[in-house]
Amino acid sequence: MDYLQGLNPEQRGAVVQLKGPVMIIAGAGSGKTRVITYRVAHLINSGVDAFNILVLTFTNKAAKEMRERITHVVGPEAKNIWMGTFHSVFAKILRVEAEKLGYPNNFTIYDTDDSKSVLRAILKEMNLDDKLYSANFVYNRISAAKNNLISWMEYAKNEQIQADDHSSGRPFLAKIYETYAQRCYKAGAMDFDDLLFKTNELLKSYPDVLNKYQHKFRYIMVDEYQDTNFSQYLIVKKLAAVTENICVVGDDAQSIYAFRGANIQNILNFEKDYPDVKVFKLEQNYRSTQNIVNIANSIIANNKEQLKKNVFSENEVGDRIKVMRAFSDNEEGKIVAEAIMQDRSTKGLKWGDFAILYRTNAQSRAMEEALRKMGTPYKIYGGLSFYQRKEIKDLIAYFRLTFNPNDEVAMKRVINYPKRGIGDTSVDRIIIAADQHQVTQWDVITNAQLYMDGRSAGAVATFGTLIQSFQVIGKNMSAYDAALHIAQHSGLLKDLYEDKSVEGLNRYENIQELLNGIKEFSEREDIEEKGLDVFMQDIALLTNDDNDKNPDADTVSLMTIHSSKGLEFPQVYVVGLEENLFPSQMSLNSRSDLEEERRLFYVAVTRAKTKLTISYATSRFKFGTLINCEPSRFLDEIDAKYIELDFTAKPAASSFFENERTAWSRKPDTFSKPKAPATSPSAPPKTTSILAKAHVPTPGFAPSDTSKLQTGMEVEHERFGFGKVLQLEGNKPDIKATIFFKEIGQKQLLLKFAKLRIVN
């Protein structure tokens, strides 16, 4: 029982409470894995047969780590525990019971690509538009149905579902689902979602099987319970119905997977499901400094739907959290890269001690390029490097063909993407003809009627003409205009735009981010040649990523916040804290969606052990246009006393700012002191906004006649405060003024509507 000695009272209570329903609310960094491990070990040491213990996790890595720790305490007996992911454990059960459902015991498990391949064949057979019924969309639709335990028969009978499908212009989804289910069944195959769907069907249709496993799994533990979906919830509830020896572990504040079907209500309502539950709150954070824990508490306190807890840390107070303002996403990457370089050299840290977290994959581009320019080694965690993603490589392949039509690798990649009737057989004919006649494949493509026959010759010739038109465009347009033209006229942009799945939207955003990068390149003042071919030379160097050759190399970690869950780093940079980016624009339609975004921010903050830095940009390129950005509302929710502001970054092309930066930097001590907490116990504590200090107009404020406004003049705006005119452009009455405001950065205003007071 030595393992009990190192536990705090709440951890120990959770470990030794073996009977009945138990809920362990485990705050970030509170030793959750240790508690689960020791609780299972304590079950075995208390005489429970390991074969009667079921432990469900969400990752194989978590299961492996727990089993290794349990083995260290109880020895080889740990091998007999039923422990693994939901899918792996229930696949094991289905192997035994599959014949009851009409499947062979050695049924095949289709992965996502297998499933989509079957769906593509079905869509082709049904002669359906693969844009409207893309394999991605249909797969996600069927997956969502299965996770909500809706069979193909119930799907077809549900009037609301059918009404939704018809209104979206997809009336054949029910038929596709039916055909897909029947085809999988005939092939003796289950897809990933079937492993849960069929387990529910098994337990519902065969009471004897349910009774068997209810008595086999006398003690059940579920890790990350806040991430369970409806299907998982029902399985666990059925299995625990006899003994009710169920222990769930999780943190409602870290429920961030609603887009995968996770239902936070499962953990919020656990006490209603089991009125006799014993609740243990692991509130001591062993990971982070006190300042980081305090800032996390001030963030999550704004959520209404939560299980109240008082997370605290007895570690050192630590540095205040730094908030950095940049003037563009590229500059944001630059200041983050410089800060990492400085801390590594002055504090003796490793590259692996740093992590950069972002809301969307597309944000990695600016970070990657800044790190590369600094010579900083990095690795994309949980995803590909920005320039290695398929959609990016596809568009770059078109760029490569534009300037080198003999690039055979690029040709093979895009000659039939998007689909244009040039199949593998036609590509083989191009290759054979080039070899036989000793000409290039490009020669064959541009003279297809001489080397090929039939319909394929026409399709190949059309492709050749398309690339030739791109060659003309590439020579005569700016890098951005040429890139946008190619993206549009190749059909690639349209293909991605019409895929409304989560993956499709991400791919479309990534293409837009690439175009944004090219737009910025086109507007750089430090280079003379700005053609797309010059940009391509830079890209060719950027894509030689040596980091992947050594996965154990000491590198800075770049990842989405979703990918960071469960990880920790000494120093963390959370970037892109802007409205419509974080929180995401799609989350602003409901309180529940917004609260999930706030939980995502909470997860990001609590990854940091010793130092946390947050950054945002006042402008970003979007669809080739520079837009002004507002700081995230989440920044307003942070108590100012935990913050150190760093607003001294300077825009790359503004010598004005360099001269004025001291006067124009906001200092932490200019903010008012935090207000007292709200007296209402249900209201979140009130904090001083670090960004919401509104400008108070000068007494008697009145707009001036701006007809004589000149560059360099100082002005006052009722809302934006004091600023200096950087540029005037256009003709009366539509003159635009570019003004740098002290508090919010650069804005462009139409003078006839701006209502400015000229100061001097």
Digit-coded pLDDT (tens) for 648-680 = 655 443 332 333 333 333 333 332 333 333 333
Q: Lowest-pLDDT range, 274-283, 422-431, 518-527?
A: 518-527
Any domain includes 58: yes
The token pair that represents 318 in the structure block: 């630590």
347 included as an active-site residue: no
| Binding-site annotation, residues | 26-33
Return the residue matching tokens 């930097």.
Answer: 665
Q: What is the pLDDT of residue 545?
A: 36
Examine the fold and report which residue of 620, 646, 672 is the final residue of a domain before the chain moves on.
Answer: 646
We report the CATH number of the domain holding residue 47 as: 3.40.50.300
Q: Which of 10, 32, 331, 598 is catalytic?
A: 32
224 included as an active-site residue: yes
261 vs 588: CA distance, rounded Å: 19
232 vs 220: CA distance, rounded Å: 13
Q: What is the pLDDT of residue 384?
A: 58
Q: Which of 85, 179, 228, 254 is catalytic?
A: 254
The token pair that represents 190 in the structure block: 């289950």
Strand ranges, E, within 575-685:
608-617, 619-622, 625-628, 643-646
User: Cα 153–154–155 angle (5° rounding)?
Assistant: 90
Examine the fold and report which residue of 187, 221, 255 is the final residue of a domain before the chain moves on.
Answer: 187
323 vs 304: CA distance, rounded Å: 26
Helical axes 532-542 vs 364-373, angle rounded to 10°: 80
93 vs 688: CA distance, rounded Å: 54
Residue 752: domain span: 692-759
Query: Are residues 146 and 197 in contact, defined by beta-carbon separation less than 8 angstroms?
Result: yes
Domain count, the chain: 5
Query: Are residues 87 and 192 in contact, defined by beta-carbon separation less than 8 angstroms?
Result: yes
579 versus 686: the higher-pLDDT residue is 579
Can the peptide bond before residue 583 be classed as cis, meaning omega within 30 degrees of 0?
Answer: yes
Q: Which of 141, 320, 365, 607 is catalytic?
A: 607
66 vs 86: CA distance, rounded Å: 15
Residue 283 has pLDDT above 60, yes or no: yes
238 versus 424: the higher-pLDDT residue is 238
We report the CATH number of the domain holding residue 702 as: 2.30.30.30
Statement to judge: residues 518 and 398 lie in one domain: yes
pLDDT tens digits for range 198-215: 999 999 999 999 999 999
Q: Which of 10, 191, 194, 223 is catalytic?
A: 223
480 vs 517: CA distance, rounded Å: 9
Statement to judge: residues 557 and 576 lie in one domain: yes
Return the residue matching tokens 């904090």.
Answer: 687
Query: Are residues 380 and 362 in contact, defined by beta-carbon separation less than 8 angstroms?
Result: no
**The pairing of beta strand 53-57 with beta strand 556-560:** unpaired
Q: Calculate the CA 673 to chain-centre distance.
A: 35
Q: What SS3 state is found at 174?
A: helix
Q: Which helix (H) or strand (E) holds 750?
A: strand 745-750
32 included as an active-site residue: yes
Query: Are residues 40 and 253 in contact, defined by beta-carbon separation less than 8 angstroms?
Result: no
Statement to judge: residues 458 and 580 lie in one domain: no
Q: What is the pLDDT of residue 121?
A: 84
- Look up residue 254 and give its amino acid: Q
Q: How confident is the model at residue 117 (pLDDT cuts 50, 70, 90)?
A: confident
pLDDT tens digits for range 187-200: 788 888 999 999 99
303 vs 255: CA distance, rounded Å: 12
223 included as an active-site residue: yes
Q: Sign of the CA dihedral 452, 456, 461, 466? A: negative
pLDDT tens digits for range 535-589: 876 665 454 333 343 445 689 999 999 989 888 999 999 999 999 999 988 888 8
Can the peptide bond before residue 76 be classed as cis, meaning omega within 30 degrees of 0?
Answer: no
Average pLDDT over residues 136-149: 91
Residue 683 has pLDDT above 50, yes or no: no
Statement to judge: residues 82 and 204 lie in one domain: yes
26 vs 19: CA distance, rounded Å: 19
Any domain includes 511: yes
Any domain includes 666: no
Average pLDDT over residues 174-188: 89
We report the CATH number of the domain holding residue 403 as: 1.10.486.10
Q: What is the pLDDT of residue 142?
A: 94
Residue 270 has pLDDT above 50, yes or no: yes
Q: Taking Cα atoms as reference points, which of 84, 92, 77 lies closest to residue 62? A: 84
Statement to judge: residues 67 and 150 lie in one domain: no
Any domain includes 92: yes
Statement to judge: residues 354 and 396 lie in one domain: no
Examine the fold and report which residue of 646, 671, 706 is the final residue of a domain before the chain moves on.
Answer: 646
pLDDT tens digits for range 257-267: 888 888 999 99
> What Å distances lie between residue 558 and 350, 361, 367, 509, 548, CA to CA?
15, 10, 8, 18, 13
Statement to judge: residues 261 and 399 lie in one domain: no
Residue 614 has pLDDT above 60, yes or no: yes
The secondary structure of 672-738, three-state, reads CCCCCCCCCCCCCCCCCCCCCCCCCCCCCCCCCCHHHCCCCCEEEECCCEEEEEEEEECCCCCCEEE
Q: Which residues pair with 724 in a beta bridge?
A: 714, 740
pTM: 0.68
Average per-residue pLDDT in the chain?
A: 85
Statement to judge: residues 432 and 363 lie in one domain: no
Q: What is the pLDDT of residue 409?
A: 75
**The pairing of beta strand 721-729 with beta strand 736-741:** antiparallel
The token pair that represents 308 in the structure block: 């109240």
Average pLDDT over residues 117-143: 88
Any domain includes 682: no
Q: What is the pLDDT of residue 217?
A: 95
Statement to judge: residues 57 and 29 lie in one domain: yes
Query: Are residues 352 and 557 in contact, defined by beta-carbon separation less than 8 angstroms?
Result: yes
* High-pLDDT (> 90) share of the chain, %: 43
Query: Are residues 516 and 315 in contact, defined by beta-carbon separation less than 8 angstroms?
Result: no
Q: What SS3 state is found at 143?
A: helix
465 included as an active-site residue: no
User: Cα 684–687–690 angle (5° rounding)?
Assistant: 135
Statement to judge: residues 209 and 78 lie in one domain: yes
474 versus 692: the higher-pLDDT residue is 474
Any domain includes 481: no
Any domain includes 670: no
> Phi/psi at 26 (nearest 5 deg)?
-110, 105
Q: What is the pLDDT of residue 6?
A: 85
Q: Which of 17, 33, 265, 468 is catalytic?
A: 33
**The pairing of beta strand 189-191 with beta strand 321-326:** unpaired
615 vs 356: CA distance, rounded Å: 11
pLDDT tens digits for range 353-406: 999 999 988 888 889 989 998 889 998 876 556 777 889 889 988 998 898 887
User: Cα 144–384–617 angle (5° rounding)?
Assistant: 90
234 vs 196: CA distance, rounded Å: 10
The token pair that represents 608 in the structure block: 């940091």
411 vs 263: CA distance, rounded Å: 45
Any domain includes 204: yes
Statement to judge: residues 591 and 619 lie in one domain: yes
The token pair that represents 129 in the structure block: 């538009």
Statement to judge: residues 71 and 202 lie in one domain: yes
Q: Lowest-pLDDT range, 89-103, 235-249, 289-303, 693-707?
A: 693-707
| Binding-site annotation, residues for ATP | 26-33
